[in-house]
Structure 1
Amino acid sequence: MASAHPNLYSFPDAESLAGQLRTYVLRCQNAALARHDTFRVAVSGGSLPGLLAKALLASDDGTPEDIPHFSKWDIFFADERAVPLNHEDSNYRLLNDELISKIPSELGTPVVHPIDEKHVGDEDPQELADLYQEELMRVFAGKDSVKLPVFDLILLGCGPDGHTCSLFPGHALLREKDAWVAAESNSPKPPPKRITLTLPVVTHAVSIAFVATGSGKQGILKQIFDLEEGASLPSALVNQGAGDKVTWFTDHQAVDGVSFPRRGSL
């Protein structure tokens, strides 16, 4: 487990959060392009794609460092629901509607890696998970040559129960050590069938960011950051496993009452 602590940032409103999120994502992008000329990022659903769009589709500040180079992006899904890509529950559809379809042509077009929707109707989503793992192996390297893929950035949300990706409190998937992508057949939150990156893959990323906003997150963030009872929650396990590679972007409402030290700008 990592020994360093995660970074917790709190902002007064969505505008200032989005501005700082943009700075953070583009720093991750530029560092990745300097390393290997591509930016491999995984994204979750929920409110995250909307905030990501607000951040990345804003006007740049005129410096080369503040430009998204989307043609260099490989976008994966940190988790996905076993539904067709045009379904209202699809994280692909959400990200496409909020961000990808709105990217100006001069910024380039990212390579997007959705699930294979031919298998969304299967009784067991394991085949869907296996195929997505094969897609990761195609891009990152075969499983025989690397133990885990190394994403440049994974962007996550945190549910009111502390879940992240489709990793839920108390579920056996939290103990998965070998698979890169796992299947969930009985999610406590609909739809029940999903696939998800596993905890070792998430914590192995170069950088991990959570976005959590609103007063509805106060209780769970208090547990995650301040209370021993929150230590086994999936989002807390990411903090423990990745330490200072983790950065939380929150608003003041979400962390009201949280004692863990927080900062106001990157």
Structure 2
Amino acid sequence: MGKPPNLFAFQGLDDLAPSLRAYILDAQKSALDRHHVFRVALSGGSLPKVLARALLDEKNGEGVIQYDKWEIFFADERAVPLDHEDSNYRLVKQEILDKIPQQLGKPTVYSIDVKYLDDVQEMADQYEKTLVSVFAARDSVKLPMFDLLLLGCGPDGHTCSLFPGSPLLRELDAWVLSISDSPKPPPKRITLSLPVTQHGIKIAFIATGGGKKDIMKEIFDTEEGQQLPCGLINSAAQERVSWFVDHPAIEGVSFPSRRGSL
């Protein structure tokens, strides 16, 4: 039995951002020591704004972010043009990529192929082929192993585009899945599969605000919550998971949280 996930609680974003930056820098160093590249999967929602606060404000701590060594993938994406307001790529580009100082270099970014907007299954297949070309170019691997997954948590316990009760949660072999009837708009999406999200070397969830307290209590304090997508990642990845939350998000949560060192 491994150790449980880490739950780091902060007063607010001013407090959270420097610790998230330190965590990302630690993950970057480990990855570059291991294989000279830093492979990161990002989700959308409110996460890119918080991430921008951690990454782009140098006052948040020492250490150099080596963007030219980063390879950025999308933990999920919507079947929309890249400049559409629902696009996670557009959100990440707007909040982070366009604001990286030139001297720090630019990451390699793997976006969806918009040729397949009308065929979401083919879009998922093509994105999986992209992952295979990067992660399995030299040898066969059962699952891609991201150096870091940066994820959000919806008020229903969903993450990426893996929703509670979805049959996609039972998929064991595919790396990337398609969705035509997402309970949240837009309906057509692709997402990393649950086994891929559980397989990351480091996995960080960012959840802030009082609107998250009910689902956080369910995920951390109930058996039912362990069957929600976020709970399934907690259960499988255990101490490889770190949650970065503010105090309003965990009001009433019994699971022990800690503040400070990572």
Q: Shorter-chain TM-score category?
A: over 0.9
CA contact (8 A) 2:21 2:60 kept: no
The amino acid of 2:3's aligned partner reads A
Does 2:70 align with 1:73? yes
The amino acid of 1:20's aligned partner reads S
1:62 and 1:203 mapped to 2: Cα distance? Answer: 29
Residues 1-266 of structure 1 mapped to structure 2, 5 A cutoff: 3-59=2-58, 63=62, 66-122=63-119, 125-141=120-136, 145-265=140-260, 266=262
CA contact (8 A) 1:44 1:165 kept: yes
CA contact (8 A) 1:215 1:253 kept: yes
Q: CA deviation at 1:144?
A: 7.2
The amino acid of 1:76's aligned partner reads F
1:181 and 1:61 mapped to 2: Cα distance? Answer: 34
1:231 and 1:200 mapped to 2: Cα distance? Answer: 15
1:176 and 1:114 mapped to 2: Cα distance? Answer: 23
CA contact (8 A) 1:218 1:256 kept: yes
Q: CA deviation at 1:260?
A: 0.3
The sequence identity of aligned pairs, in percent, is 60
The amino acid of 1:240's aligned partner reads S
CA contact (8 A) 1:79 1:165 kept: yes
SS in 1 for 2:94: helix
Q: Which runs of 4+ in 1 moved over 4 A?
A: 60-63
1:247 and 1:115 mapped to 2: Cα distance? Answer: 28
2:144 and 2:98 mapped to 1: Cα distance? Answer: 27
After superposition, the C-alpha distances for 1:155-193 in whole angstroms (9 at most, x for unaligned) are 000000000000000000001100000011110000001
Q: CA deviation at 1:231?
A: 1.7
1:60 and 1:7 mapped to 2: Cα distance? Answer: 25
Q: CA deviation at 1:142?
A: 5.0
SS in 2 for 1:231: helix
In the alignment, structure 1 segments of 5+ residues that lack a partner are none
The amino acid of 1:209's aligned partner reads A
**Change in 2 beyond 3 A, CA 1:144/1:106:** closer
CA contact (8 A) 2:66 2:104 kept: yes
CA contact (8 A) 2:178 2:190 kept: yes
Q: CA deviation at 1:143?
A: 10
Task: Name the TM-score, length of structure 1 as normaliser.
Answer: 0.95
In the alignment, structure 2 segments of 5+ residues that lack a partner are none
Q: CA deviation at 1:47?
A: 0.6
Q: CA deviation at 1:227?
A: 1.1
CA contact (8 A) 1:48 1:157 kept: yes
Per mean C-alpha deviation after superposition, the further-off stretch among 136-145 and 234-243 is: 136-145
Q: CA deviation at 1:121?
A: 2.5
| Aligned alpha-carbon RMSD (Å) | 1.4
After superposition, the C-alpha distances for 1:26-81 in whole angstroms (9 at most, x for unaligned) are 11001100111100000000110011111000116785xx1100000000000000
